[in-house]
Structure 1
Amino acid sequence: MMLTAVRIGGIAALTLLLSACVSTVLEVDGKATQPIPTAVTAEMSRKSMSPSAPILVRIFKQESELEIWKRDRSGRFALLKTYPMCRWSGKLGPKKQNGDRQAPEGFYHVSAGMLNPNSQYYLSFNLGYPNKLEAALGYTGEALMVHGACSSSGCFALTDEGVAEIYAVAREALKGGQGSFQVQAFPFRMTPQNMAKNRNDPNFTFWSDLKQGYDIFEVTRRQPKVSYCEGRYVFDKEFGGGEPRDVLAPCPPALNTPDALVAARTQSDRVAMEELLTAGTVLSAHAYADGGMHPSFRRLLERSGQSALAKRTSLSSVPVSRPDAAIADPHSPDE
């Protein structure tokens, strides 16, 4: 009886692991301890960065790109490298429920315990979805990862080569004393043009909140402080009595005033967006059947199919998820 229960429990656990972007490999090989590639450390040196300095990650769905930023000797973050994403799933917009194939959007913090050296997709790290805000809003889902390969069911896939570099850079930053690194996941680069294109999207108010954090980083090159109240993100606010305990309650009065340069940037972008809308020169927003793929990988898939893409990205055992959608997206909403 006990042996049967153990077997059933083991099968249930394996089923759970296979349902998301998580580990199914029991043995640990050397891939998680590989050093940062020489070319990357040379770029760090050129940009006055050290391997142990803190990092910050930005993800852009529409552009299918992931950026690694690193603090340099000035104390501000500078761009180290941009990686093309091979696959993400769903549409533009936040993840709200388990099984919706949505890759998340928002602000997350990744600690050393969230690095996964045994991922079924080479290497990975967990974003920590749902965060405190998402949990309060009733959003569900688990094991939302940045990982290797070119297959996604709510995750961000960067190929084995790409995630190996990112994993090594993140590992060394965390070993260097950074308690956790911030991941900012956006639907697109939050320019006036992109905001104008998506003005009528149901997620526009949510994206406008995300843009406040985006603007802080764009202007100051420092990590924005993330708080939650009134069911939304609030950035760089100091509240009397500490952080709001109830994420859905009204925001208490802030003790500090907004950064003048950041406020000016936000206002100028808002004016530029309104001018684009008034001029009627805004193109229609993109639509998605199921996620996106960076153009560099899409060209390989279009020319030679999955076998060529697998060979190019060392993915011989992992097929591309929903390749027809990968080629078709993004498309015009009228198509």
Structure 2
Amino acid sequence: MLTKLARTGMLIAALGIAGCTESSVKDFAPQYANRELPQKILASMRAKDMDKGAPIMARIFKEENTVEIWKQKRNGRYDIIATYPICKWSGKLGPKYTEGDRQAPEGFYTVRPAQMNPKSSYHLSFNIGFPNAYDKVNGRTGANLMVHGACSSSGCYSMTDPQIEEIYAFGRDAFRGGQKEIQIEAFPFRMTAANMARYRNDPNYNFWKMLKVGYDNFEITKVPPKVDVCEKRYVFNQVAADGQAFSPAGACPTTTQPDALKVAYTEYQSKYDAAFNAALGGAKPAPKASILGTKEAAIVADWSKRRARGERVPIEPPSLNSDGSVTETSRMGRIDSPLGRKMAAIDAEKAAKQKAEEEKTAAVAAAKAAKEAEKQRLAEAKAAKTAQPESTATIVAPAPAPEAVTQTAADDGGVMSKMKKRLFGMFGG
């Protein structure tokens, strides 16, 4: 049964394992882009019946901070060969909506040889192919969304340099072995019944339910699903009827699916439904925050634009709350870039001019206040002098002291006695 499912999955997966041109994979310089996988991994490949150049696929789980590398075995089914913790990813759970919203994408993406960048500023990188057909038809924008090294993210999935060297080597060897394109599946979390029950009230839940169909198809077949888009939604492992095709914006064509896959999916879904219902009443960790649609994306994108212009903005991007309010960090700063430094210099010059103007204004005001105070003082002094009553000054001789009076009287008596004697002498008295 499993062998039959694997063969069926291989047929409908349509991975296109055809030889790519030599020019697209021959030059993987610089040197660390040519480093071989560790012997431990090569030994694990041999133990799992894998060829070094066999096709690969990758799964990304945000909440678990995990990147998984799966590799095709000789029987056609895939098995996990390596797991890496994500060093950093930006944004919240939920899809990427618009350029600048700092969201790491979720969905099904394709990497071709031309998307590999051995000369990346982030050590090594590969573009995951955002926006894909689903993103474009739903009006989602953005560019240069990567898996890269340097452990720094603004909407990407960032790994350490040693990790990206190994992941890059897996892709390089697969392309050299003839794989035409690598499927990248990016999920908010492992799409188990327990996790889906945790997030059943999230605004992104319907989008995640759509991704889960692709997730389940891989879990059942262990072959990357064939991915198409019609009616602005993903469809998986569907084969269009003769003469019909998938159009992202058009109606979905009449499709068929192998009976074995339909039976296996029905059985899988029955077990999932039972587990989901059981998880509804069980103890579980609280769900993590997710992006609240296009409105929050627009708020963060505006923050990103202002930051890119070198403006001084909150250190962390703003967050929209369920009640419609916006939360921003109190710490402010600007991006360290030529534009940011230029803006800082302009702001510093403006601040210096403003300070000088304020100091000049303060000095003028102080001088004016001092002048007014002096005028007030003089006016008050004049008013006080005018208010004092006029009077005629009378000079009164001081009364002589008693001793002086006695002496004067004695002196006067002596003079009178002498005069009397003279008069008596003159008149014979």
- The one-letter amino acid of 1:67's match is E
- Partner residue, 2:370: none
Is 1:260 the counterpart of 2:243 in the alignment? no
- Please, which runs of 5 or more residues in structure 2 have no aligned partner? 1-27, 292-313, 318-429
Matched ranges for 1:1-335 at <5 A:
28-241=29-242, 244-256=245-257, 259-277=262-280, 279=281, 281-287=283-289
SS of the equivalent of 1:107 reads strand
**In 2, distance between residues paired with 1:148 and 1:117?**
11
Contact (CA 8 Å) 1:130, 1:142: kept in 2 or not? yes
**In 2, distance between residues paired with 1:126 and 1:239?**
29
Counting aligned pairs with the same residue, the percent is 46
Alignment deviations for residues 192-234 of structure 1 (CA, whole Å, 9 cap, x no partner): 1100000011111111111111111111111111011121110
- The one-letter amino acid of 2:278's match is E
- Partner residue, 1:330: none
Give the Å deviation of 1:43.
Answer: 1.5
Give the Å deviation of 1:73.
Answer: 1.8
RMSD: 2.3
The alignment covers a number of residue pairs equal to 267
Give the Å deviation of 1:239.
Answer: 1.3
Give the Å deviation of 1:254.
Answer: 1.6
Alignment deviations for residues 285-324 of structure 1 (CA, whole Å, 9 cap, x no partner): 11269xxxxxxxxxxxxxxxxxxxxxxxxxxxxxxxx999
- Rg comparison, structure with higher value: 2
Give 1 or 2: higher helix fraction.
2
Give the Å deviation of 1:174.
Answer: 0.7
Contact (CA 8 Å) 1:206, 1:232: kept in 2 or not? no
- Say if 1:243 and 1:180 are closer, same or farther in 2 by CA, change over 3 A: farther
Give the Å deviation of 1:275.
Answer: 2.9
Give the Å deviation of 1:246.
Answer: 2.7
Contact (CA 8 Å) 1:90, 1:154: kept in 2 or not? yes
- Say if 1:229 and 1:40 are closer, same or farther in 2 by CA, change over 3 A: same
- The one-letter amino acid of 1:224's match is P
Q: Structure 1 length normalisation: TM-score?
A: 0.75
- Say if 1:96 and 1:167 are closer, same or farther in 2 by CA, change over 3 A: same
Q: Structure 2 length normalisation: TM-score?
A: 0.59
- The one-letter amino acid of 1:191's match is T
- The one-letter amino acid of 2:206's match is T
- Please, which runs of 5 or more residues in structure 1 have no aligned partner? 1-26, 290-321, 326-335
- Say if 1:57 and 1:193 are closer, same or farther in 2 by CA, change over 3 A: same
Alignment deviations for residues 155-177 of structure 1 (CA, whole Å, 9 cap, x no partner): 00110000000101110101111
- Partner residue, 2:300: none
SS of the equivalent of 1:259 reads helix
Contact (CA 8 Å) 1:95, 1:105: kept in 2 or not? yes
SS of the equivalent of 2:240 reads coil
Alignment deviations for residues 10-37 of structure 1 (CA, whole Å, 9 cap, x no partner): xxxxxxxxxxxxxxxxx95211112222
**In 1, distance between residues paired with 2:247 and 2:49?**
41
**In 2, distance between residues paired with 1:280 and 1:244?**
44
**In 2, distance between residues paired with 1:206 and 1:94?**
8
- Say if 1:243 and 1:232 are closer, same or farther in 2 by CA, change over 3 A: farther
- The one-letter amino acid of 2:269's match is T
Contact (CA 8 Å) 2:127, 2:147: kept in 1 or not? yes
**In 2, distance between residues paired with 1:187 and 1:67?**
14
**In 1, distance between residues paired with 2:72 and 2:180?**
14
Give the Å deviation of 1:284.
Answer: 2.5
Alignment deviations for residues 106-149 of structure 1 (CA, whole Å, 9 cap, x no partner): 00111111100011110011000000110111110001000012
**In 2, distance between residues paired with 1:241 and 1:233?**
20
Contact (CA 8 Å) 2:149, 2:159: kept in 1 or not? yes
SS of the equivalent of 2:174 reads helix
Give the Å deviation of 1:39.
Answer: 2.0
Return the structure number with greater relative CO, CA threshold 8 A, min gap 6: 1
**In 2, distance between residues paired with 1:274 and 1:170?**
40
Give the Å deviation of 1:249.
Answer: 2.4
